[in-house]
Chains A and B, each alone.
Chain A
Amino acid sequence: MPVTDKEVALSERIEAFLAELKRGGSGAGTLRGSGETARETTALLRRITGQAQWSSAGDLMEIIRKEGRRMMATQPSETTVGNMVRRVLKIIREEYARLRGSSEVTDQQESLHQLLTSGGLSEENFGQHFKDLRANVIEAINELLTELEATTDHIAMQALEHIHSNEVIMTIGRSRTVEAFLKDAALKRKFHVIVAECAPFCQGHEMATSLSEAGIETTVIADAAIFAVMSRVNKVIIGTQTVLANGGLRAVNGTHTLALAARHHSTPLIVCAPMFKLSPQFHNEEDTFHKFVSPHEVLPFTEGEILSKVNVYCPVFDYVPPELITLFISNIGGNAPSYTYRLMSELYHPEDHEL
């Protein structure tokens, strides 16, 4: 296929995005939070849909899958990229099915009976060409973008249902979603927040300054004091990096300890996570779950004499099993962790779980 200017421009955009992803992992680039990553990814996918050369839905899906794999390989820990790719693939499937005329309901309801009798739905090859497919898909992606922009507000709107006055709420590290959640509740109610600082990055400090400037009584504690103060805490509200397919979390390190302490004191653990963080991956013991950063955050180079004889670890994430979580609050409402599998089937197609 002849390389057009448009294609060159498109591939430049993709390369720029990948570079941002690689740099943005440490929070230094413009892609600061997962919300922004999700929006940028979706915008890029819309651009690909609009500008790339494709004739049928199958071609488009192939292109998006290829780009998606590249993006996920750049920054494996940033799962929102993969999630958005899967959402767009599902959108394409839906639009194609609508244009073909078959009801969406039967496609979605992949019941066991259908799977056994029809021999699997993968016979569909998406080869037919539809004129309106491009426009429809772009419109649907625009709707997705609107949804993404409003997630934090939708979650924050539910704050008053969960926080009563004179409560002591505990949180860890820094989560923009939780920040918005608490600030929204603080407009009407008075409560106290305890922030665990989450060493070694100490993002809890930023969170505490931001909350206290909004007029919320805040206290900063060291990570070591989480269990000690937990007996006075009424609720634990945390954010997360990813929600796994079984309802567990991949959250900032220290969250598992927090969850265990909450379970010991029978304190409810509430996770504020927008839907784009839901990922079809499972927790496994392999290398892909954990991410490590430079150990000089933990043991600085000034301790030079012993550095060569000591192993130092600085993991970034923690796995929290679903039994420790009480409630998920997302932009579509509150759910129990056991409902996660159902939400996943609404968002992603099972064929897309492995890109």
Chain B
Amino acid sequence: MADADETSKQAERNTNVGDGIAVKKQDIARAKNEGKELTKDEKQRLRKEKKQQKKNKKDDKGESEHENVPLPPSQAVVQCQSQKAPSVAPSLALTPVSVCTSEKPAKSKAEQRAERRARQEADRAAKGKKGESAQQPPSGKSKAPPNELQPVVKRLPEHVQVDDPAAVRKLAKKLERQQIPVRSEYGYKVSLFSHLHQYSRKAPLTQQISIPSTVIHPYIVRLGLQYSQGIVAGSNARSIALLHAFQKVIQDYKTPPNEELSRDLVNKLKPYISYLNQCRPLSASMGNAIKYVKKEISNIPCLCKEEEAKKQLLSCIDNYIKEKITLAATTISAYAIEKISNGDVILVYGCSSLVNHILCDAFDKKRKFSVIVVDSRPRLEGREALRRLVKKGICCTYVLISAVSYILPEVSKVFLGAHALLANGYVMSRVGTSQIALVAKAYNVPVLVCCETYKFCERVQTDSFVSNELDDPDDLMVTRKGKIHLENWQDIRQLGLLNLVYDVTPPDFVDLVITDLGMIPCTSVPVVLRVKNVDQ
């Protein structure tokens, strides 16, 4: 087997690989023969060679795809997206520029100008064959010191670029590489939202993959289906389900030979994440959870045995769930109970697991209050909250969101849940939340938002258009008096149905945010984020 390996490796080698490397390869082959694990250096060298071969192959094809530049393994490998990249250029000259784009967080004007200059020079180099000089200024830039503030990789997520054909093609290529089918769009999209995906619930992604799937772990397939059909909904539920699925994946994982667990497992998770993203766009809490898991995996020391590593990862994930979700809920509930007094009439909207938990806790602690549950079409999630509260024994009233201005004069407090808290203080939550906050403000009723810190997000957003999720438009249809008015909406060219999932609430409508770190105003979110980053 060692001979076969050797010969195959020699066949792949380019002419410019010298004898020294051949000797090292023989060492590696011998080490494998003796059943010992490869040392870190050898693994690194192997990796570098594979990448070199890939790059040379791409050079031959003359494509302009961006490559993973051989960096020291401690730096995370980031796939760069440079939308302004010229269509035809030697990849070698471009890759240092793309490295810079990934390393440079807050681009100042001078840096942007320099980048543009570098790209122009690269172009000229392609024509005048002066590749060397083009690489000098970008590589000089890459050694520039990063900003004092924490560098954040600002990369436009794919799911808000549906109207850009280049981005769509890129995604299709990526999914093809990972062997995941692309989900097709459904229905006429309102022009204001042509940059977002719109899928139909009747066409789940699982119809296009073979079951059992060889590429995707069966737990992840099931999870994706649960997401797309709405069986698992709510950001806490989705995150916990995701982390449990990851635990199963880690349990079933076996490190392939010649690979390190810390790098290979991360690569294994990438197609799963793409698949889940196709089923339903990831929420902010899920994004943070994935970042945490990836960080934990890449921090596994390479000398660690596989069994130990897996045990450590599983316990890390358990701790994350316990700390960030379960214990956070208890803390938030303890803070929130101070704000609930006897005789209160509390208004809640939709079904937030955290708010339900707070109300049940307060009821257990013998506070006397009544609840008004506000609900909205088409999801009608408030009914689930209503069932839970009534089961507990709390006195409830139920209205639809259009009756909110009728019922608000009786309300003393409004408790809202959040899907994410953005860095500029805006609250991203289920569509309709901002409306309730608006009307509450008009009637001078205090609005309290309850949110765990793991949902805090570094994005900023000012309106509900640029980044949102479009749900199945058929959900808006309703049967009244035996007739569905919108039955043939697809046939009418001028008619569009819009089923938004999220909206953003401006911070001036929110009076208080209750988190596990305490009760803070909406505008203190970036402070918390900064403190968290410094801790990590």
Contacts and interface: CB of A to CB of B under 8 A. Distances in A.
Contacts of B493: 212
Contacts of B495: 208-209, 212, 218-220
B378 interface: yes
Interface stretch (B113-121, B171-179, B273-281, B496-504): B496-504
B497 A220 contact: yes
B476 to A, nearest CB: 6
B192 interface: yes
B339 to A, nearest CB: 24
Interface in A210-244: 212-213, 215-229, 231-232
Given A253-B406, A257-B404, A311-B396, A212 B431 contact: no
Contact of A222 (B397, B405, B499): B499
A312 B439 contact: no
Interface in B454-489: 463-465, 476, 478, 480, 485-486, 489
A201 B431 contact: no
Contacts of A313: 397-399, 403, 406-407
Nearest to B405: A256
Interface string B327-365: 000000000000000000000000000000000000000
B438 interface: yes
A224 B398 contact: no
A228 B433 CA distance: 9
A217 B192 CA distance: 12
A228 B396 contact: no
B513 interface: no
A310 B400 contact: no
Interface string B374-415: 001110000100110010000011111111111100000000
B476 A212 contact: no
A203 to B, nearest CB: 9
Interface string A181-222: 000000000000000011111100110110011011111111
A156 to B, nearest CB: 20
Nearest to A218: B495
B425 interface: no
A205 B378 CA distance: 13
Most buried by B among A224, A232, A290: A224
Interface residues of A, number: 51
B434 interface: yes
A261 interface: yes
Contact of B503 (A201, A227, A257): A227
B497 A253 contact: no
A179 to B, nearest CB: 14
A256 B464 CA distance: 21
Give the size range of B's interface with the partner: 35 or more
A311 B398 contact: yes
Contacts of A254: 401-402
A178 to B, nearest CB: 17
A218 B438 contact: no
A261 B435 contact: yes
A142 B44 CA distance: 97
Contacts of B386: 306, 310
B498 A225 contact: yes
Contacts of B499: 222
A213 B376 CA distance: 28
For chain A, what secondary structure do more than half of its interface residues adopt (helix, strand, loop), or is it mixed?
Answer: mixed
B255 to A, nearest CB: 47
Nearest to B500: A225
A287 to B, nearest CB: 13
B390 A310 contact: yes
B498 A260 contact: no
A329 B309 CA distance: 73
B133 to A, nearest CB: 49
A298 interface: yes
A145 interface: no
Contact of B400 (A199, A217, A227): A199
Contacts of B500: 221-222, 225, 228-229
Contacts of B403: 253, 313-315
Nearest to B404: A257
B76 interface: no
A219 B486 CA distance: 11
Most buried by B among A213, A217, A220: A220
B494 interface: yes
A206 to B, nearest CB: 5
A200 B493 CA distance: 26
B203 interface: no
Given A202-B485, A205-B486, A223 B397 contact: no
Contact of B492 (A209, A221, A222, A314): A209
A205 B432 contact: no
A318 interface: yes
Contacts of A327: none
A36 to B, nearest CB: 20
Contact of B486 (A220, A222, A232, A311): A220
Most buried by A among B399, B405, B431: B405
B304 interface: no
B190 interface: yes
Nearest to B442: A260
Contact of A256 (B387, B439, B492): B439
Interface in B249-303: none
Interface string B498-536: 111001100000000000000000000000000000000
Nearest to A227: B435
A298 B377 CA distance: 10
A298 B373 CA distance: 12
Contacts of B438: 227, 257, 260-261, 264
Contacts of B399: 298, 312-314
Contact of B376 (A218, A219, A223): A223
Given A199-B376, A205-B486, A206-B485, A309 B402 contact: no
A232 B192 CA distance: 9
B492 A212 contact: yes
B217 to A, nearest CB: 36
A315 B397 CA distance: 13
A75 to B, nearest CB: 21
A299 interface: yes
Contacts of B497: 219-220
Contact of A202 (B398, B480, B496, B504): B480
A132 interface: no
Contacts of A305: 387
Interface string B144-156: 0000000000000
Given A224-B431, A261-B435, A229 B397 contact: no
A303 interface: yes
A220 B430 CA distance: 18
Contact of A228 (B400, B434, B439, B480): B434
A299 B383 contact: yes
11 contacts: A199-B400, A209-B485, A224-B431, A225-B500, A228-B435, A228-B503, A229-B498, A257-B439, A305-B387, A314-B403, A318-B405
Shortest 7 CB-CB distances between A and B: which pairs?
A224-B432, A254-B402, A224-B376, A228-B503, A205-B485, A256-B405, A212-B495
Interface of A: 197-202, 205-206, 208-209, 212-213, 215-229, 231-232, 253-254, 256-257, 260-261, 264, 290, 298-299, 303, 305-306, 309-315, 318-319
Given A209-B489, A232-B465, A264-B438, 14 more contacts: A198-B402, A201-B480, A205-B485, A219-B498, A220-B476, A223-B401, A223-B432, A228-B434, A256-B439, A257-B404, A309-B396, A310-B390, A313-B398, A314-B400
